[in-house]
Structure 1
Amino acid sequence: MSLASLVLVINCGSSSLKFSVIPRDEEMPLLSGLAEKLGLAEACITFKDSAGHKTTLALAESSHHHALSQLFAKLEAMALLPRLCAIGHRVAHGGSDFQQSVLIDAPVIARIRELSALAPLHNPANLTGINAAITLLPHLPQVAVFDTAFHQTLPPAAYTYAIPLEYQQRHQVRRYGFHGTSHRFIAAEAVKRLDLDPCNHGIIVAHLGNGSSVCAVKNGVSVDTSMGMTPLEGLVMGTRCGDLDFGAAAYIARCSEQSIEAVYKMANNESGLLGISGLSSDCRTLQEARSQGDARAALAIDVMVHRLARHIGAHLASLHRFDALIFTGGIGENSALVRELTAQKLAIFGVKLDCKKNDYLYSGRDGVISLPGSPLVAVIPTNEEKMIAEDAAAIASSLAGALS
């Protein structure tokens, strides 16, 4: 391992900062953790080492800048700071401008800031992390990895909304898709693990978590996805409604005398599994309540599964063949119930699960769960941090090569 062989991956939210220090060409971080409750008096940072031991410290200041400075002090104490070759930043929205990860410079920062209009909750927070990291470690290459980049291969028929085209041309109103880093990782892993033809395959990836989306991958390329201009469209999620008739939203605004902004907030923060169940946005809690006869919890899971199966079926129309369905994300990797109920609804496509294998796969276990004669159905854990680290390391290497 060369001296500068580590990548720091940063995922900066409005009140949190998730981080991992990952060796190049490896999967497990040497150090990871989370700074949370930033902006509040009880802000803290938690470190987890490679053995799984956790340490939590209170932050004297509750800013992202201070959280990063404490992280860098920890890295210095562990003699890891000199071994960093790059910092990779997760950025939510790259619009149609960024089709791949890029080295961060002033024009890139300016464009990410302009695109904040399309992701007001995410891009400004991502920029906070970028600016703090550049201030503290200006000599290191900083790389932006966009959630939207993988989906920039969508054809116009898939990304165009059926509204006056001027809104797309003037205001960039179109489908962008999200979870692209996860979908890209899983698409590549599926080809390797399932021995698919790299040049001739069709995969559906179901990334299911608090936020969820489906992606149709044709020969390694994203050709359709369920999220839209924002992460609100598509599947039923933890607190997001997914697809909703705009007429219903307008009616809610009129009859409840709410602004469109208030209805939008409701659709993002008070809907989905939480809104239907009235209990929780956590699928694990709802599965337990369902098993105890809670009708609303059962309905929430049924609606989520119905929407998921419907989107999978629709996305198959964008493929030339159906080789595999991959479940990933917190729910996809751990909920045998959701996988089973979804597969039952996909029987028309020949999908059949091995119930014993399906029940066995959770908590990091992975593998094929379909029966012989069925399209392959598999559980593959996602690793967005590894993907970000690989992109950042590759760009840092090319930059070093150009300077040598």
Structure 2
Amino acid sequence: IKEKFSINEIDAVGFKTVHAKGVTGCVLLDNKVLQAMEDYRSLAPVHTDVYITAISTFQKLLTDMPLVGLFETHFHKNIPPEAYLYGIPYELYEKHGIRKYGFHGASHRYIGKRASELYDAKKVISCHLGGSSSVCAIKDGWSIDTSMGMSPQSGLLNAKRVGDLDPFGLLYLMEKESLSIDDTRDLLMSKSGIYGISGKSGDFRDIEEGMNIGDERDTKAFKTFAYYVKRYIGEYLAILNGADCIVFTAGAGENSPALRKEIVGKLNNLNIILDEQKNLQNPKEGIISSENSKIKVAVIPTNEEYIVAKEVEKFLQKD
């Protein structure tokens, strides 16, 4: 940073922070917040370790500079109790905060904002599909439900993260394979998801390449992932009571016509009609649904950095 900018040119450093116990929103990253991130480290170890290391390094390099974090959970603050509670004893929820939080907040927020600007869409289903994936139901600019739960390991299959899994299936697996908690965490976080089904890769480009030459496991991985996304779209159509727009974003969402077709190509009875030619043209940003489709389908490139920068700017003005 010191080589590329004069320190005097920088007002603050913004971070797209992920998860912290009892902390959300756009906040100053002091030692109290870092401890709260550490307290929830086991829920998002890959993300949290990197962020704590980076923030600590910046604290040493830029001693008087405000370091500000926009937590990914903040966009989901309006999710109602019926959507965020799990069926465990309520006392454990109160004691430990066991509930749905949701992630990819900056991305979904940008998609909701951009869909509103482009298409006057108030009810949006945002499909952030890539190495890390989630679906979000957005109403009037804010999340009302999302596929990820208490940790980024939940919801859709991710590149190497498990997604939804029956907890008793997991307990059974731990018993049969004599897995420790650390072994299980590693299995669910780095050996599962799309990679787990494929056996070779968690990258959609590799999966599609394998599927196109008839690889059975790559085909299963592709179709399973698409099925999960389609299932969440159906769920959020019910929760939103319809939608104005379904948006595909992030690496696979923006760049895989085959994946988009697999997800929304046969939903005519739900008033979602894909225009196959527009879809194949793979626009950087634009509509890929037919003119006869009552619900628009669009590709919009996400811009998480924009959301973080704007929120940090607001934070500085507030102070």
Common fold by TM > 0.5: yes
- Any residues of structure 2 matched to 1:3-402 within 5 Å, and which? 72-76=1-5, 80-98=6-24, 100-196=25-121, 201-361=122-282, 365-374=284-293, 375-399=295-319
Cα contact 2:155–2:163 (8 A) shared by 1: yes
- Cα displacement string for residues 122-174 of structure 1 (whole angstroms, at most 9, x for unaligned residues): 32431222222122112222211111111121100000001111221111111
Q: Is the 8 A contact 1:343 1:351 kept in 2?
A: yes
Task: Compare relative contact order (CA 8 Å, sep 6+) and give the higher one, 1 or 2.
Answer: 2
Q: CA–CA distance in 2 between the matches of 1:216 and 1:325? A: 10
8 Å Cα contact 2:197-2:217 kept in structure 1: yes
Task: State the TM-score, normalizing by the size of structure 2.
Answer: 0.94
Deviations 1:236-272 (A, max 9, x none): 1111221111121112112222224323321221111
Q: Amino acid of the residue matched to residue 60 of structure 2?
A: T
**Secondary structure of 1:203's match?**
strand
Classify 1:155/1:141 alpha carbon distance in 2 versus 1 (closer, same or farther; 3 Å): same
Moved more, 226-235 or 341-350: 341-350
Name whichever of 310-319 and 252-261 sits farther off.
252-261
Offset from partner CA, 1:174-199 (integer Å, 9 cap, x none): 11111011111111011001133xxx
CA-CA distance at 1:345 after TM superposition: 4.4
Corresponding letter in the other structure for 1:368: I
With 252-261 and 276-285 compared, the bigger mean Cα shift is at: 252-261
Amino acid across the alignment from 2:119:
L
Residue pair 2:21, 2:36 contacting (<8 A) in 1 also: no
Distance 1:218 1:253, change over 3 A: same
Report if the CA contact (8 A) 1:309-1:346 is conserved. no
Letter in 1 for 2:193: G
Q: 3-state DSSP class of the match of 1:325?
A: strand
Higher strand share: 1
Q: Partners in 2 of 1:168 and 1:237 — Cα distance?
A: 26
Match of 1:35 in 2: none
8 Å CA contact 1:94, 1:148 repeated in 2: no
Kindly state the Cα deviation for residue 95 of structure 1 after the two structures are TM-superposed.
4.4
Q: Which amino acid aligns with 1:392?
A: V
Shift of 1:105: 3.4
TM superposition shift of 1:312: 1.1
The whole-number CA distance in structure 2 between the counterparts of 1:118 and 1:262 is 15
- The structure in which a higher percent of residues are helix is 2
Contact 1:313 1:346 (C-alpha < 8 Å) held by counterparts: no
Name the TM-score, length of structure 1 as normaliser: 0.75
Deviations along 1:252-311, whole A, 9 cap, x unmatched? 112222224323321221111111111211100111111111111111101111111011
Secondary structure of the 2:4 match is helix
Evaluate the alpha carbon distance shift between residue 96 and residue 372 of structure 1 in structure 2; reply closer, same or farther with a 3 A threshold.
Answer: farther
Q: Which runs of 5+ in 2 are unaligned?
A: none
Aligned positions, number:
318
Kindly indicate whether the alpha-carbon contact (under 8 Å) linking 2:23 and 2:33 is maintained by their aligned counterparts in 1: no
Q: How far did 1:235 drift?
A: 0.7
Whether contact under 8 Å (1:370, 1:376) holds in the other structure is yes
Judge conservation of contact 2:246–2:296 (CA < 8 Å) in 1.
yes
Structure 1: how far apart are the matches of 2:75 and 2:21? 11
Supply the AA of the counterpart residue of 1:382.
T
RMSD: 1.7
With over 3 angstroms needed to count, the CA separation of the structure-2 counterparts of 1:104 and 1:255, relative to structure 1, is closer
1:74 partner SS: coil
Structure 1 vs Structure 2: percent identity of aligned residues? 38
CA-CA distance at 1:117 after TM superposition? 4.7
In structure 1, how many angstroms separate the alpha carbons of the residues matched to 2:285 and 2:7?
Answer: 34
Could you tell me which runs of 5 or more consecutive residues in structure 1 were left unpaired when the two chains were aligned.
1-71, 400-404
